[in-house]
Amino acid sequence: MPKKSRRSRNTKPIEQIKIAKERIAILISEAEKVNEEKLSKRHVELAKRIGMRYNVRLPKAAKRKFCKYCNTRLITGWRTKKGMRYNVCKSCGRTIRFPFRKRL
């Protein structure tokens, strides 16, 4: 009988978490490839839902490519000010900010 890995009471099995991470990566890559906005939004929504269900974070690169409010693709056009990168979403009009370190 194989040895089971230890985990806390409220977490999913490790095998399911690995599968969830793989599915999230696949959905994010498909959302980047697709040209249709509705289908891209759907892929991002599914990736977020899987992440919430299995308590898995989305990759940092994916967070910066999609609007966290309306799930549409962000068009590159950064503004920088006081250690923050600003991007305005074209569909919902919200400003998304990401911190960054200045190069020396």
* Matching residue, tokens 């609007």: 67
Contact yes or no for 11/54 (Cβ under 8 A): no
Tell me what pLDDT residue 2 has: 62
Give the three-class secondary structure for 25. Answer: helix
**pLDDT tens, position by position, 37-80:** 999 999 999 999 999 999 999 999 898 899 999 999 988 778 88
Report the C-alpha gap between 14 and 104 in whole angstroms. 41
With a cut of 80, say whether residue 10 has pLDDT above it: no
CA dist list (Å): 43 to 16, 28, 40, 84:
19, 7, 5, 28
What ranges make up the beta strands (E) of 1-104?
79-81, 84-88, 95-99
Report the C-alpha gap between 17 and 19 in whole angstroms. 5
Higher per-residue confidence, 49 vs 104: 49
Tell me what pLDDT residue 39 has: 96
